[in-house]
Amino acid sequence: MPESIDWPSRPPSPHRRRFLILLALVAFLIFSSGTALSYYVNLLWFGTLGYENVYRTTLSLQWFVFVVFLAATFVILYGWFLVLRRAYKPDLLDGGVIFIGRQPVKLPVERIMSFIAKLVFVVIALATGAGMMAEWDTFALYWYAQRNLASVTDPIFGRPLHFYLFTLPVWQLVAGWLLTIAIIACIVSLFFVLVTGSAHILSAHRGRSIPRSWRGVSIAVAFLLLVIALQVYLSRFGALFEERTIFSGVSYTDAHITLTGLLIVCAALIVGAVIALINIVKAPRVRWLVMSAVPAVGCYLVLQLVAWYVGSFIVKPNELDRERPYIAHNIELTRQAYGLDRVSQREFPAETSVEATDAANNQATLQNIRLWDWRALQDTLRQIQEIRTYYDFPDIDIDRYEIDGNVRQVMLAARELSADKLPEGSRNWINERLIYTHGYGITMNPVNGFTPEGLPTLILSNMPVQSTVPSIQITRPEIYFGELTANDVYVKTKQQEFNYPQGQTNNLTEYEGTGGIPLRGFVRRILIALNEGDTTKLPFSDDITPQSRLLMRRNVRDRVTALAPFLTYEPDPYIVISDSGRLFWMLDAFTTSDSYPYSSHYLLNNNSLNYMRNSVKVVIDAYDGTATFYAFDPQDPIINAYRQIFPSLFKDASAMPPDLRKHVRYPELLLKLQASVYALYHMTDPEVFYNREDLWTVATEVGLSETGAQRTQIMEPNFVLMKLPGESNVEFVNILPFTPANRNNLIGWIAGRSDGAHYGTSVVYDFPKTRLVDGPLQIEARIDQNAQLSGQLTLWNQQGSHVRRGTLLVIPCGKALLYAEAIYLQAERSPMPELRLVVLALQDRLVYGPTFDAAMRAMFGNEASSLTATAAPAIELAPGSAAPIPAKSGADLNSLISGAAKDLADYQRLTAEGKLGEAGQKLEQLKQKLDELNRLKK
């Protein structure tokens, strides 16, 4: 046989080496240029907001975690490969012979394997580093968290709270990483056994001794068993988060059997690792490796059998007695995790009489009943206040403002510009990026203010913004940052920006703020153009100057998420007017965790969690985009840790300007979650909890689907300006009613408080269980069953229009519950609803009228007159609107008589024409004039 030919090898020439280095450098630049450019632009963006240190700290933490795990993964895996290659080197050098023609050629197997191993391990290391990089905040919390949280410890292991919130998640991540390393090490060891198997046979024929090829596998298996032992040990703590049928957390069986049994399994795994290591010293055998897993498997099977026996024959027959202390642990810690331990409970009598409402002492509540359904108001504003098709009102916000010395509940809507609605012929780069850059102004109306035509009574309206209340003015109406501002724009260019339409011409403006990234020189402009994908326009536009600025991330939610991605945000920001007349967005932010001991998990935005705090309020300037984060919960360990990581990002709540502080509110997202938890965990007695004797649900109501059909849906939180029962001051609260499970009657309600020293607390009012209190669905049924009312609604639905029912409000008033619902009439060809009826109800009484005043008079009789007469004349509203006009003294008697006669004639004419809604308004005006005549006679 001809001699084998060695594979030719020579060191690469200097030219070839430089070429390879250059090629690697080009590949690296192509791969990382997009990331590097993004980092550069983000650094500029964070810098313009004053948060450059935040971005640098985030990058440092991310890349530190990435580099550490990348390097550790590669060193461990490639180091293990080198150890195995050294052990198997004689076998590797004997193999790899191929024939070229008839000449045997020996391949450089060792070099080829080393190259492939480096490539594979680099890819694995990159993937591992990237995966761990995404968990940078978990490691950061572990490094920066305070360790003085011993006030809360779990009742099973006695570990402090910081162990579960900060330490355990890191241990679990590291244990998962080690498991991945161990599995790959086993695979590499088996690979060497397989590739050297034929070499062993060939070596035997040549008289060489066969190497002990399973030593490497034994070491890898021993390491794998030790890592699994660590995983099993950590899984003991996971029992605190396990969801069960009745409760969550450690059970009787876990405490007495499983937790101890898992320690035995850990010991068995360590024994198995020792057996695998013994296999190195003795002649390696596969059966020893199999035997190394036998003790752990055996112990685990025995553990499962014993746990099944205890659960089936000891716990099940006496489940309540056995599980009682563990149910109590779950109740206590779940209430702590969701802040329900801060909830105070009070009794609410839910009386049924009109007198129980104590109307004279609850004027503020009655004067601020929200009759405008936000969807109906949104549709109406889109018709009467959009002005141009490219404007839109994406949302309606509810807030309270002081008007002439009285706090009134109002509804606000920001008029934003939607670039997607620009005429097709105007959709070009200059219009979309330089001219149509911002929205303009807001509208404001009382929650129950209506004109005689059923339209909202506007306090703020039109362009330029007009105000009917001198104390509320808008000095900076431009909205560059909002909910619809999804596209990036350039300001301070040679093009003047469209401000608002003004007759046949347009009012133009120029951005005067300091927000945005300065474009400056040509190089920065090129880099920003590459990042923006705007390379054909931005670098060569004559409209761009060195003073021009790029406004990016203009959507307020995207903006705050980019600044602090580790927080969870309320989906609905709300607009606020400062005392200086500037517009701000306010957004609630939350810290969450899924590792609070013994707390039950709930879904929030498709994420499972068992801890939540409303720890942060974010304020964003609608003009320059400045974002400020205020920490509102000093007792939250998570936000305290983040404040250690990013000291320049958060400010104390006391630093919030007073004119903004008075507009903070109890978040809807938090109230909904707390209500869901409280529906079960208001039962603090383990026996009652176990039997689900008093299970509640959030009340349901009749709503509209996307197709306009009626459907039953869970009630949304409702903001109300009211005097809480037992309190002396008017407060802005967020309320939700409860019903017993599978029932429609009310059983209680929860209120989240927003004002003063009570901010952030909540109170639950329990109804008597011996009395049936109507729920929303039952009130809706009473409306449908009222013969006159249902007949009127049926008639309206047959006259080329359809009836649109507003949200049914459940409002505590005095010692009774007052229900209110507005009913609108909407023409089939018009999307604009108009108020036609207001329905008010108590437990045993249901009234309605064409206006709020009429319904109030029907409910309270003459007492309504005194209520309306003493109401603060904060806003001058037309007759028939929600807020009454103060009585005019010295009215001319003849004028009143002639006016009454005219109203009567109009009423008769409108009734004959079938215009019952307008006829009802005339009748109400006639009643007012007659009342005035009676007053003058007295």
pLDDT in tens, 687-701: 999 999 999 999 998
Q: Tell me how far apart the alpha carbons of residues 775 and 700 are, in angstroms, rounded to a whole number.
A: 8
3-state DSSP assignment of residue 329 = helix
Q: By the 8 A CB rule, do 696 and 679 touch? A: yes
How far apart are alpha carbons 587 and 574 in whole angstroms? Answer: 7
C-alpha span between 935 and 938 (Å, rounded) = 5
pLDDT of residue 573: 96
| Average pLDDT, integer, range 505-525 | 91
Share the mean pLDDT of the chain: 85
Q: Where are the alpha helices (DSSP H) in 239-373?
A: 252-253, 259-281, 286-310, 319-337, 363-367
Read off the pLDDT of residues 345-394 as tens digits, 9 standing for 90 and up.
999 998 888 888 888 888 888 889 999 999 899 999 998 998 888 999 99
Give me the percent of the chain exceeding a pLDDT of 70. Answer: 83
CB of 303 closer than 8 Å to CB of 253:
no
Predicted confidence band of residue 342 (pLDDT cuts 50, 70, 90): confident
- Write the CB contacts of 596 (distance below 8 Å, at least 6 apart in sequence): 161, 164, 165, 333, 336, 337, 610, 611
pTM of the model: 0.85
pLDDT in tens, 519-558: 998 889 998 998 888 888 888 889 999 999 999 999 999 9
- Position 914 pLDDT exceeds 60: no
Residue type, 768: P
Q: Which residues contact 428 (CB under 8 A, 6 or more apart)?
A: none
Q: If you average pLDDT over residues 126-142, what whole number do you get?
A: 94
Across 443-458, average pLDDT: 90
Helix (H, G, I), strand (E, B) or coil at 331: helix
DSSP letter for 494, please.
S
Amino acid at 734: N
How confident is residue 857, by pLDDT bands cut at 50, 70 and 90? confident
On the question of pLDDT at 9 being above 60, the answer is no
Tens digit of each residue's pLDDT (9 = 90 or more) over 275-304: 888 877 766 667 778 888 899 999 999 999
Whether the upstream peptide bond of residue 725 has omega within 30° of 0, thus cis, is: no
907 or 654: which carries more pLDDT confidence? 654
pLDDT in tens, 602-660: 998 888 999 999 999 999 999 999 999 999 999 999 999 999 999 999 999 999 999 99
Identity of residue 47: G
> What are the distances in angstroms from CA 731 to CA 101, 624, 673, 754, 755?
95, 32, 22, 7, 6
pLDDT of residue 7: 39
The predicted structure's pLDDT at residue 937: 54
What's residue 31's pLDDT? 47
Q: Is the pLDDT of residue 209 over 50?
A: no
Find the mean pLDDT for residues 738-744.
Answer: 92
Over residues 860-864, the mean pLDDT reads 67
Beta-carbon contacts of residue 621 (< 8 Å; ≥ 6 apart): 481, 515, 582, 583, 584, 627
User: Can you give the pLDDT at residue 204?
Assistant: 40
Q: How far apart are the first and last CA of the chain?
A: 136
Structure confidence by residue, pLDDT tens digits, 385-395? 988 889 999 99
Predicted pLDDT of residue 175:
96
User: Distances in Å between the alpha carbon of 695 and those of 301, 343, 692, 742?
Assistant: 38, 18, 5, 9
**Virtual torsion, Cα 192, 197, 199, 203, nearest 10 deg:** 120
Predicted pLDDT at 8: 43
Residue pair 421/392 in contact by the 8 Å Cβ criterion:
yes
DSSP 869-922: HHS---S---TTSSSPPPP-TT--HHHHHHHHHHHHHHHHHHHHTT-HHHHHHH
CA 310 – CA 830 distance, rounded (Å): 69
Total Cβ atoms within 10 A of residue 666 = 25
Average pLDDT over residues 855-882: 51
Give the Cβ contact number of residue 358 at 10 Å.
16
**Looking at residues 559-575, what average pLDDT do you find?**
96
Quote the pLDDT of residue 863: 59
Kindly list the distances between the CA atom of residue 143 and the CA atoms of 158, 166, 633, 645, 879, in Å, as whole numbers in the listed order.
22, 9, 21, 9, 65
From its phi and psi, is residue 503 left (phi > 0), alpha (psi between -120 and 50) or beta?
Answer: left
Provide the token pair at 353. 């009489």
**pLDDT beyond 50 at 335:** yes
Q: Which of 319, 299, 318, 320 is nearest to 257 (CA)?
A: 299
- For residues 181 and 893, the model is more confident at 181
CB 725 within 8 A of CB 347: no
3-state helix, strand and coil shares in percent for the chain, rounded to the nearest 5: 45, 20, 30
Residues 788-816 have a mean pLDDT of 84
Q: What is the 3-state secondary structure (H, E, C) of 86-119?
A: HHCHHHHHHCCEEEECCEEEECCHHHHHHHHHHH
Please state the rounded mean pLDDT for residues 809-831. 87
Kindly tell me if the per-residue pLDDT of 120 is higher than 60. Answer: yes
Question: 170 or 208, which is more confident?
Answer: 170
pLDDT reading at 496 higher than 90: yes
Q: Residue 876's pLDDT is what?
A: 32
Q: Is 410 left (phi over 0), alpha (psi -120 to 50) or beta?
A: beta
Which run of H or of E encompasses 128? helix 109-133
Per-residue confidence (pLDDT) for residue 871, from 0 to 100: 38
Tokens of 180: 């991945």
pLDDT for 682: 95
Query: Which H, E and C letters describe 522-590, residue by residue?
Result: HHHHHHHHHHHCCCCCHHHCCCCCCCCEEECCCEHHHHHHHHCCCCEECCCCEEEECCCCEEEEEEEEE
**263: Cβ–Cβ under 8 A, 6 or more apart, which residues?**
233, 236
Distance from C-alpha of 510 to C-alpha of 814, rounded to nearest angstrom:
53
Flag whether pLDDT at 507 surpasses 80: yes
Please tell me the predicted confidence (pLDDT) of residue 225: 95
d(CA 144, CA 643): 9
Report phi then psi at 368, rounded to 5. Answer: -120, 25
Tell me which of 601 and 857 has the higher pLDDT. Answer: 601
Give Cα separations from 873 to 469, 609, 884 (angstroms).
11, 48, 8
Tokens of 480: 């560059």
